[in-house]
Amino acid sequence: QVQPVESGGGLVQPGESLRLSCPASTRDIEVFGMAWYRRRPGTQRQFVAGITGDYTTTYADSVKGRFTISRDNAKGTVDLQMENLKPEDTALYYCNTLSSEGLAPWGQGTQVTVSP
């Protein structure tokens, strides 16, 4: 498995939006699904959103209605559109497979900071 390279993070104010992106092969999406995870300061890495080969999506309760995970087959990426960001969304965001069976080495992540 290839180490993911996440992008799109940044510093935004509460209520603003960001779009994260991560290259993902069709095979990985179809076989293992893909997901976004995050690690907030002082906590362990947690699941944020996932998408399977049949486009089924799942979300952590804390982001439902604000975050949308999608796959862009043309670009070969899995993206996370984040709306109405809150300070508690501040974290290092990672992408990796949804299934632990296909887990790749964790990448460096992309930092999202939400601050007035």
SS3 content of the chain, % helix, strand, coil (to 5): 15, 40, 45
Region 74-85 average pLDDT: 96
Query: Residue for token digits 């995870």?
Result: 37
Question: Which amino acid type is present at position 42?
Answer: G
> Is residue 92 left, alpha or beta, with left meaning phi > 0 and alpha meaning psi from -120 to 50?
beta
CA distance 50 to 33: 7
The per-residue pLDDT for 1 is 66
Sorted by sequence, the CB contacts under 8 Å of residue 94 that are 6+ apart come out as 4, 6, 36, 37, 38, 39, 45, 106, 107, 109, 110
The per-residue pLDDT for 115 is 96
User: Is residue 108's pLDDT more than 90?
Assistant: yes
Q: What φ, ψ does residue 49 adopt, rounded to 5°? A: -160, 150
User: Is residue 98's pLDDT more than 70?
Assistant: yes
pLDDT tens profile 1-59: 678 899 999 999 999 999 999 999 888 899 999 999 999 989 999 999 999 999 999 99
